[in-house]
């Protein structure tokens, strides 16, 4: 497949995603991927969509269920799930062995957006979001990159105050969610589960591999604890 720089034709995007051309056009119309011109799509947005959603054959969990699964894997009690929901979620997690499947199931925990702005705002943004931390996975932190979670109700204000511009190649990634942000902060501080989930859908092959390996370990530990 011949990628032409940062852009893909409709057929190339179709091949990358494993869907028909008309589905590519629908994804562009809904904003799931970025169309830069007629029949031309932003490569990064297409690859990010594939990384987060796979081929579409895996069913994803609703936001609160996804956070519940992360909590269980992190060894923390889920928030907002009844006993029956917890039982079913535990049973499903015990059956999952593929980290890619798990990462896709968890994708609706937050909406991922990328932004760019003046280099002076990076520290300000970091102070207002929850950052799981790459160092927990043995990955080097990059001061030029900002990546973390923010509550849905606060993202518009942050974007306005920091004068951020939505940009598929931007260095600021904001993952917005309606989950209680203090609970997200608790999960981020508990262990490396949340950091691994984020890394498992990275566009960087090495980072993705590290994230997937960490998820395999969390799944194995979860099964071991269930047998006790």
Q: What is the pLDDT of residue 219?
A: 96
- Structure tokens belonging to residue 29: 């119309």
Q: Using only C-alpha atoms, what is the Rg of the chain?
A: 18
168, 42 Cβ separation under 8 angstroms: yes
Measured CA distances, 71 to 38, 65, 74, 79, 120 (Å) = 43, 10, 5, 8, 34
Cβ within 8 Å of residue 73, ≥6 positions away: 93, 193, 218, 219, 222
pTM over 0.85: no
- Can you give the pLDDT of all 228 residues of the chain as single tens digits? 344 568 888 988 888 887 788 888 888 888 888 888 888 988 888 887 877 765 555 678 999 999 999 999 999 999 989 999 999 999 999 999 999 889 989 988 999 889 999 988 999 999 999 999 888 899 887 888 899 999 999 999 999 999 999 887 889 999 999 999 999 999 999 999 999 999 998 878 889 899 999 999 999 999 999 887
Q: What is the pLDDT of residue 46?
A: 84
Tens of pLDDT, residue by residue over 207-219, are 989 999 999 999 9
Name beta bridge partners: 113.
Answer: 174
Looking up tokens 């987060």, which residue turns up? 52
Q: What is the pLDDT of residue 54?
A: 59
Q: What is the pLDDT of residue 2?
A: 40
HSE at residue 62, side-chain half, CA atoms within 13 A, is 6
Tens of pLDDT, residue by residue over 4-55, are 568 888 988 888 887 788 888 888 888 888 888 888 988 888 887 877 765 5
């Amino acid at each position: 497949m011949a990628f032409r720089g940062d852009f893909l034709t409709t057929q190339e995007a179709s091949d990358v995603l494993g869907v028909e051309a008309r589905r590519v056009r629908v994804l562009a119309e809904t904003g799931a991927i970025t169309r830069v011109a007629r029949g031309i799509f932003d490569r990064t947005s297409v690859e990010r969509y594939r990384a987060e959603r796979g081929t579409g054959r895996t069913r994803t969990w609703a936001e609160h269920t996804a956070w519940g699964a992360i909590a269980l894997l992190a060894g923390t009690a889920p928030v907002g799930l009844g006993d029956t929901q917890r039982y079913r979620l535990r049973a499903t997690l015990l059956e999952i062995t593929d980290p890619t499947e798990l990462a896709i199931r968890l994708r609706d925990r937050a909406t991922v957006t990328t932004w760019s702005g003046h280099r002076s705002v990076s520290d300000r943004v970091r102070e207002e979001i929850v950052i799981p931390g790459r160092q927990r996975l043995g990955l080097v932190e990059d001061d030029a990159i900002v990546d973390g979670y923010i509550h849905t109700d606060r993202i518009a204000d942050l974007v306005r105050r920091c004068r951020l511009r939505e940009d598929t190649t931007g260095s600021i990634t904001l993952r917005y969610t309606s989950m209680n942000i203090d609970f997200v902060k608790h999960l981020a501080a508990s262990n490396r589960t949340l950091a691994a989930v984020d890394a498992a859908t990275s566009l960087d092959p090495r980072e993705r591999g590290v994230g997937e390996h960490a998820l395999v370990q969390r799944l194995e530990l979860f099964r071991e604890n269930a047998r006790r």
